[in-house]
Amino acid sequence: MKLWVCFLIYILGLLKGALPATALDGEFEGRFKAGTQYVIDSPDLHKDFDSEAELRFGVLGNAWEKEEWQLDYELSADAKQVDGPSEQASLRQETDVDLFRAWLRLDNGRLTIRGGRQKIMFGSGFIFRPLGFFDTRNVTGVVPVTRGVDGLRSTFYLNDTSSIQGWIVPAKINDRMIAGLRWEALISEVESGLVAQYHPVSDQDDLPQFGQELIQLGYHFKGEYHAGLWSEGRVDFERVKENYPFRFDAVVGTDYTFDIGDGLHVLLEYFLSTREPQYTQDDAKGDRTIHQFGLLLDQPVGADVAWQLFSLFDVRDGSFQLVPQVEYTLTSQVFLYISGKWGGTLKTNRTAGRLFKETVDFNGTEPNVGLTVVAYF
């Protein structure tokens, strides 16, 4: 268990003993998720069903209050058990038990300081997230979530419509730190922001570009003019000896709800990624420029049913994924999901696209159909 987790439990213990019983309160909450997907045409020597069971349990509440100051907390952990081709191919661990969130937050309404395992997410992108420095979600999964990172984050509210935020996250190599700043403001009904981050070489291999030393600058904005409109982007300057070759990622998106049935929501995003020749190549196909589109259609059908169709398309290699899903509300806290995935390529001479691959080993892009139950308590 990491030192900061021990410190968190120690502080809560002190508060519990030193303060009146009513000072430390909390609410328990949790989630149980279980599902299985039948992998159509699973590779040889791999199982046909990819199954997962997950239990998450935690507590959150107030630890202390005095005048305008408040100290609150969240402590939660989850356990996963996986069986099937994704585990056989080492894409997922068979058994995984870890903290999901574990933080303390001090807040007086204008200044907020939060330390521990937390979600650090911002930006306006829905499918593609150039500013997702710490985003670990599987966007094509059922109820995708991003896990927390260990760090310290502070937000200072300049006024009712603007703020400055800073964060540090351990890079774990020689006490190096990932450090960043973000300014955010509401300008003429447009949510706007600027971001800067220093990213040293890290051993956090679950984070993107962990093995590079980068100076990262970005922007994001989101507004509405008849339809929702947004964009976010980031330029990375890589430190390679005395040179600083760059990479630029950006997304532009829009959405609109049509008056069809109970409302047909359509969301479209375009993603561009390009880099200089000297920039470290991290694309498996060796391309320096990538163009992709993401499309989401979703619509409720009555009070208990909703369907959605999620799709991705890579312009350069013609690969695509289609992910249909139907959500059925069993109770106010229990949901049933019927989902599928189908991938392919529009170029018949290609079998190894970015979004779909035909390989002798399981790679996670294979077509499947599945059933998942999610219960909240």
Judge whether residue 326 has pLDDT over 50: yes
Q: What integer pLDDT is reported at residue 138 of this predicted model?
A: 85
Q: What integer pLDDT is reported at residue 21 of this predicted model?
A: 45
Helices and strands counted in the chain (H then E): 2, 18
Q: What integer pLDDT is reported at residue 360 of this predicted model?
A: 84
pLDDT band at 1 (very low <50, low <70, confident <90, very high): very low
* Segment of 7-11, 294-298, 317-321 carrying the highest mean pLDDT: 294-298
Q: What integer pLDDT is reported at residue 19 of this predicted model?
A: 47
Judge whether residue 127 has pLDDT over 80: yes
Question: Rounded mean pLDDT of 92-106?
Answer: 94
Q: What integer pLDDT is reported at residue 7 of this predicted model?
A: 53
* Distance linking the first and last C-alpha atoms of the chain: 26
Judge whether residue 354 has pLDDT over 90: no
Q: What integer pLDDT is reported at residue 350 of this predicted model?
A: 62
Question: Rounded mean pLDDT of 38-66?
Answer: 93
pLDDT digits (tens, 9 = 90+) for 201-210: 988 777 777 8
Q: What integer pLDDT is reported at residue 111 of this predicted model?
A: 97
Q: What integer pLDDT is reported at residue 2 of this predicted model?
A: 47
Two structure tokens written together for 134: 């710490």
- Residues 334/374, Cβ–Cβ less than 8 Å: yes
Question: Rounded mean pLDDT of 91-96?
Answer: 91
Question: Rounded mean pLDDT of 326-330?
Answer: 98
- Residues 144/138, Cβ–Cβ less than 8 Å: yes
Look at 74-88, 129-143, 218-232, 261-275 and tell me which has the smallest mean pLDDT.
129-143
Determine the 3-state secondary structure of 86 from DSSP: helix
Question: Rounded mean pLDDT of 263-290?
Answer: 90
pLDDT digits (tens, 9 = 90+) for 152-169: 999 999 999 999 999 999
Determine the 3-state secondary structure of 332 from DSSP: coil
Tell me which long-range contacts 5-9 makes (C-beta under 8 A, separation of at least 24): 5/99, 5/102, 5/116, 5/117, 8/73, 8/75, 8/102, 8/103, 8/104, 8/116, 9/75
Quote the CA–CA distance of 276 and 286 in Å, as a whole number.
12
Q: pLDDT > 70: what percent of the chain? A: 92
Quote the CA–CA distance of 376 and 195 in Å, as a whole number.
35
Q: Which residue has the higher pLDDT, 205 or 275?
A: 275
pLDDT digits (tens, 9 = 90+) for 280-306: 877 777 789 999 999 999 999 999 999
- HSE-CB at 178 with a 13 A cutoff on CA atoms is 27
Q: Which residue is associated with the tokens 């351990």?
A: 170
- DSSP classification of residue 315: T
Q: What integer pLDDT is reported at residue 205 of this predicted model?
A: 76
Quote the CA–CA distance of 35 and 328 in Å, as a whole number.
14
- DSSP classification of residue 42: P
Question: Rounded mean pLDDT of 45-56?
Answer: 95
Q: What is the overall mean pLDDT for the chain?
A: 90
pLDDT band at 348 (very low <50, low <70, confident <90, very high): low
Look at 207-221, 303-317, 319-333 and tell me which has the smallest mean pLDDT.
207-221
Q: What integer pLDDT is reported at residue 351 of this predicted model?
A: 67
Judge whether residue 376 has pLDDT over 70: yes
Q: Which residue has the higher pLDDT, 80 or 8?
A: 80
Look at 1-10, 53-62, 121-130 and tell me which has the smallest mean pLDDT.
1-10
pLDDT band at 41 (very low <50, low <70, confident <90, very high): confident
Judge whether residue 14 has pLDDT over 80: no
Judge whether residue 72 has pLDDT over 80: yes
Q: pLDDT > 90: what percent of the chain? A: 68
